[in-house]
């Protein structure tokens, strides 16, 4: 899983972690104290972790107004709408 994400993680200076989280949350992007993290739900299958990780990185890179927190919800297959 991490092999497919490694080049993008290095390019965008992101740190990858896994954590236990609610079943409907696939993962999230968070920026705290200048450190950028992609945190994935450790209970997901490896293929799904890679898919969610790529989606989060893609959304983070296309975000016109960088967010400090960007969740990815599995039940909606994506991100909440920005207001």
Per-residue pLDDT reduced to its tens digit, 62-78: 776 678 899 999 876 55
- Percent of the chain at pLDDT > 90 equals 51
How does DSSP classify residue 33? T
Per-residue pLDDT reduced to its tens digit, 23-37: 899 999 998 888 899
Per-residue confidence (pLDDT) for residue 62, from 0 to 100:
77
Q: Has residue 1 got a pLDDT over 80?
A: no
C-alpha–C-alpha distance, residues 3 and 25, integer Å: 22
Per-residue confidence (pLDDT) for residue 46, from 0 to 100:
92
C-alpha–C-alpha distance, residues 72 and 33, integer Å: 21
pTM: 0.82
52 Cβ contact partners less than 8 Å away, ≥ 6 residues apart = 26, 27, 40, 41, 44, 72, 74
């Amino acid at each position: 899983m991490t092999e497919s994400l490694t080049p993008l993680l290095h390019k965008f200076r992101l740190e990858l972690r896994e954590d236990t989280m609610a079943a409907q949350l696939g993962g999230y992007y968070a920026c705290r104290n200048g450190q950028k993290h992609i945190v994935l739900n450790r209970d997901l299958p490896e293929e799904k972790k890679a898919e969610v990780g790529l989606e989060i990185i893609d959304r983070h890179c296309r975000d016109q107004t960088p967010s400090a927190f960007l969740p990815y919800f599995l039940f909606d297959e994506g991100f909440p709408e920005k207001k």
